[in-house]
């Protein structure tokens, strides 16, 4: 009896707190309790979204369009496929950060023969992705509930190699600082094949832009920077060697254009927006395991 009263009370409280704040127009269809941050699924305007930080405003982690589930809702998600310009036919794919599973799901559809490992530290996110965002695992697409740093370090010790690595573990407000350091990127580089590509979703604004840029530069040398107007995200495309010139990317863009069009990606527009120009302060301090105050710099 007590329990029922308490539950009703909590539901009323939750209703009030949600109602007055950022999600007045949304319907909350599910809440998943997490070891980290509770995961909330909302629906509004035929979009279903996963949120971590419901009380701090619009922190959509990932969204799907319920009318057109193939279409990628977020610009940065579409941008992350620019890595295919550098490696158009990946065989072993690693995705750090699951979210709603959009990136691995699309990669699975695009490259049915490739094997895909996904790393997600939060079991609750995996559950919500399965139940509400059509994330389906099979023998080629496997999710690991593990910290990305731990998995990648171990993969390096086992001598495993990936030819397409997506780093997308930076979610919401808190940045996992141990995934931004020079040592981490060296471990990533160790499991990257000579022709492989690293696609990193990072910050376009804030002081972190300079810090991240010099840190990536210190490990991979010159890289391709992908920014679009109005997006708070910047995609870094890095390789260990043989970075092609932007002019060489038009051919793969044409080749993949039709394949990517159903997802709302206009691949032909991408090469012109890539640049190797260092538009950051090159004397910024490199982030290391000894020095990584990323959350204070954001």
Partner 1 sequence: MARSAFGRWVILTVAFINGFSIMSIELLGGRVMAPYFGSSVYVWGSIITVFMLSLSLGYLWGGKLSTRTPNSRQFASFFVIAALLCLPIIYFADPVMTRIFMTIEDPRYGSLLTAGLLYFLPICVMGMVSPYSVRLMVSSQEGSGGVAGLLYFVSTLGSALGTLATSFYFVLWFNLDQVMWGCVIALLLCALAVMLADRRDSREDAL
Residues near partner 1 (CB under 8 A): 35-36, 121, 146-150, 153-154, 157, 176-178, 181, 183-184, 288-293, 296-297
Of the residues 117, 122, 163, 168, only one is catalytic, namely 168
* Closest separation in Å from C-beta 178 to partner 1: 4
Tokens of 277: 């120009």
Cα–Cα distance list, 175 to 201, 202, 232 (Å): 12, 10, 15
* Closest separation in Å from C-beta 238 to partner 1: 20
Cβ closest to partner 1, residue 8 vs residue 150: 150
Instruction: State how far the Cα of 177 lies from the Cα of 215, in Å rounded to an integer.
Output: 13
Which strands, in side-by-side order, build the sheet including 27-32? 27-32, 39-44, 47-51, 60-65
* Closest separation in Å from C-beta 292 to partner 1: 7
* Closest separation in Å from C-beta 239 to partner 1: 24
Nearest to 122 by CA among 25, 205, 211, 52: 52
Is 89 noted as a catalytic residue in this protein?
A: no
Q: Do residues 183 and 288 lie in contact, with contact meaning Cβ atoms separated by under 8 Å?
A: yes
- Residue 8 is given by DSSP the state H
Three-state DSSP at 296 gives: helix
For the annotated catalytic residues, the residue numbers are: 168
């Amino acid at each position: 009896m007590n329990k029922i009263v308490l539950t009703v009370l909590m539901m009323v409280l939750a209703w009030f707190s949600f109602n007055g704040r950022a999600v007045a127009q949304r319907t909350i269809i599910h809440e998943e309790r997490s070891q980290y941050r509770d995961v909330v699924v909302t629906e509004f305007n035929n979009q279903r979204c996963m949120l971590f930080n419901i009380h701090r405003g619009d922190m959509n982690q990932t969204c799907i369009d319920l009318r057109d589930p193939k279409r990628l809702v977020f610009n940065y998600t579409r941008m992350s496929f620019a890595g295919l310009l550098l490696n158009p036919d990946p065989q072993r794919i690693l995705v750090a950060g699951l979210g709603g599973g959009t990136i691995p799901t699309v990669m699975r559809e695009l490259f049915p023969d490739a094997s895909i490992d996904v790393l997600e530290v939060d079991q609750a996110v995996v559950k919500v992705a399965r139940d509400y965002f059509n994330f389906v695992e099979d023998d080629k697409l496997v999710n690991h509930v593990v910290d990305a740093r731990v998995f990648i370090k171990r993969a390096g010790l086992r001598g495993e190699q990936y030819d397409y690595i997506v780093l997308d573990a930076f979610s919401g407000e808190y940045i996992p600082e141990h995934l931004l350091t020079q040592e981490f990127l060296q471990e990533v580089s160790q499991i990257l094949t000579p022709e492989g590509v690293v696609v990193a979703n990072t910050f376009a604004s804030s002081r972190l832009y300079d810090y991240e840029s010099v840190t990536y530069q210190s490990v991979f040398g010159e890289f391709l920077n992908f920014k679009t107007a109005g997006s708070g995200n910047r995609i870094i495309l890095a390789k260990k060697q043989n970075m092609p010139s932007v002019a060489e990317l038009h051919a793969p863009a044409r080749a993949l254009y039709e394949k990517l069009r159903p997802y709302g990606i206009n691949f032909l527009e991408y090469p012109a927006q890539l640049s190797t120009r260092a538009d950051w302060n090159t004397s910024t301090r490199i982030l290391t395991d000894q020095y990584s105050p990323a959350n204070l710099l954001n």
